[in-house]
Amino acid sequence: MKTYIPILYSLFATMLLVPMCIMAQGIINTSGTQLVVDGAACIVINDGGFTNNGTFSKSTGSVVFSGSTATANSFIAGTTTTDFYNLTLNKSANGLQLNRNIGVSNLVTFTSGDSIFLNTYNVDLGSNGSLSGETSSKRFTGQTGGYIMITQSLNAPSAVNPGNLGMEITSAANLGSTVIKRAHTVYRDRSVTRNFDITPTNNAALNATLVFNYFHSELRTTIESTLSTYSSSNGGTNWFYISGGPDLNTISNYITSTNVNSLHLLSLFSLADLPVHLLYLKGKAINRSALLEWATSGEIDNDYFDVERSANGITFLKIGTVKGSGNTSIQKTYQYTDEHPLTGTNYYRIKQVDTNLDFMYSGIVSVQITEPAIGISLSPNPATNLLFVKINGLEADEIDLKLMDQHGKIYKFISLKCKKGENNFTINIEDLPKGLYYINLSGKNNQSVKFLKM
């Protein structure tokens, strides 16, 4: 049974819709009133909007938007967030616009029409809501802002696509309660109009595989065949290369990223066809040096690469620069040797900089440098005025001690006569500028140790 109501105003304290189909050209639920859906009742809003200023009780009912009126005339508005059970777009033309945050606990269904435009507002799917029927021509969109979110517990997920938002997650770890937000803002000139923000409770050794799905209508001017996945740790300011090349499937429209160990530090994911396409970054230890190698499959206006190092994988400092190839369509390979790595784990990344100063980051690799049998220790560290140097285990030898900064500039050069066993020396560093320095020993037992001048 369908009942047609030209415009429905909730003027009574409570209006009950029993299981039937109510058709209206617009609904305004006024302040202080209740619009109650009894069970699986259906409200069809034809060429109109739904303004909720009172209380809307959804039960297991559906609200369907139909007709062909302009998108701005099909809307959801009101003074408060409206929670729906089922929400359906079933227009013969044009779409639906949000003028208020909404919640949908079961299904958002795209049957026909254009799209649902977020218009800076958000859709909360709770823990069980889902999208159904999205295609390249009818979907959620909104380059001006807003997002669709779902919160689910993901314990050892296997190809789980929460809310059918388009991000499949696989991990042997328990991520716990995980919030996933899908937005359609553009962060870079050459990025698609889709991105995901993923925040799990647990980030320990996830080794996750992420499958990022997209629609052709979200590509904008990007070149699909050169898309890669990039991630940001600071809201879209800096971007890191995650995966590309053979991980991209342009037939089924998805790209796969493997070995993603953290979703908290790199929570924002998007796709782009940036001018310089990094293929890989590798690192290995050679004696007490770290050799880095990376390659590009093509470059446009590539000026240079900064090589950056970190002791903790979070805070990086520049240690060198390698000139780029400018413009090339062939694969290029680059190398850089860190002659003075830290003892223990060294983390490296590459910052690629264009001629217009736009930049992006590679992924991170680690190189392990083991402590040699001969030991050198410094105290105090950090130091202010005097630095005490203890050298253990040397055979009697004459060695050169160099005090240099992280860029290789030598501040002090001292020739020492060492006896077998323990040797102690004092160096005055009062005149050094504040910063990170290295003590380098030459001779039979070449090694380097860092210290911080305060």
- CA pair distance 416, 396, nearest whole angstrom: 11
How high is the mean pLDDT of the chain? Answer: 87
Asked if residue 10 has pLDDT above 50, the reply is no
- CA pair distance 85, 90, nearest whole angstrom: 16
| pLDDT tens sequence across 291-301 | 999 998 888 88
Q: Check residues 117 and 25 and name the one with the higher pLDDT.
A: 117
Q: What is the dihedral of CA 253, 259, 262, 267, to 10 degrees?
A: -10
Mean pLDDT across 407-417: 87
Asked if residue 392 has pLDDT above 80, the reply is no
Q: Phi, psi (5° rounding) for residue 449? A: -130, 140
Tell whether omega for the bond before 382 is within 30 degrees of 0, i.e. cis: yes
State whether the Cα torsion 296-299-305-309 is positive or negative. negative
The answer to whether 266 and 260 are in contact (CB under 8 A) is yes
Q: Which of 33-37, 65-69, 161-165, 329-333 is least confident?
A: 33-37
Closest alpha carbon to 152 in 130, 183, 122, 131? 130
Would you state the pLDDT for residue 446?
66
Determine the 3-state secondary structure of 216 from DSSP.
helix
- DSSP strand pairing (435-441 vs 447-453): antiparallel
The answer to whether 101 and 78 are in contact (CB under 8 A) is no
Rounded alpha-carbon distances, angstroms, from residue 192 to 213, 220, 222:
11, 6, 7
Would you state the pLDDT for residue 5?
41
pTM (2 decimals)?
Answer: 0.70
State whether the Cα torsion 314-315-321-326 is positive or negative. positive
The answer to whether 183 and 141 are in contact (CB under 8 A) is no
| pLDDT tens sequence across 106-140 | 999 999 999 999 999 999 999 999 999 999 999 99
CA 110 to chain centre: 28
Mean pLDDT across 265-288: 82
CA 161 to chain centre: 17
Through-space distance between the first and last CA atoms of the chain, rounded to whole angstroms? 81
Would you state the pLDDT for residue 419?
80
The answer to whether 126 and 137 are in contact (CB under 8 A) is no
| pLDDT tens sequence across 66-105 | 999 999 999 999 998 999 999 999 999 999 999 999 999 9
The DSSP annotation for 171-190 comes to -SSEEEEEEEEEE----STT
Q: Which of 196-205, 219-228, 315-324, 418-427 is least confident?
A: 418-427
Q: Phi, psi (5° rounding) for residue 164? A: 55, 35
- CA pair distance 236, 244, nearest whole angstrom: 19
